[in-house]
Amino acid sequence: MNDTLGNWKRTQLCGTVTAEQMGQEVCVMGWVQRRRDHGGLIFIDLRDREGVLQLALDPDRDPEAHKKAEQVRNEFVVAVKGKVSPRPEGTINPKMKTGEV
CATH label of the domain that carries residue 65: 2.40.50.140
Assess if residue 98 is contained within a domain.
Answer: no
Q: Is residue 93 part of a domain?
A: no
pLDDT at position 39 is 85
In tens digits, the chain (101 residues) has pLDDT values of 567 788 999 999 999 999 999 999 999 999 999 999 988 899 999 999 999 999 999 999 999 999 999 999 999 999 999 999 999 999 999 999 999 99
Note whether residue 45 is domain-resident. Answer: yes
E-assigned strand segments in 1-101: 25-38, 41-48, 51-57, 77-83
For residue 64, being part of any structural domain is answered with: yes
Task: Please tell me whether the overall predicted TM-score, pTM, comes out greater than 0.95 for this model.
Answer: no
Q: What is the pLDDT of residue 5?
A: 82
Full domain range(s) for residue 57 = 31-82
Confirm whether 51 is domain-assigned.
Answer: yes
DSSP state of 12: S
Total domains, the chain? 1
In a domain, 61, yes or no: yes
pLDDT at position 6 = 86
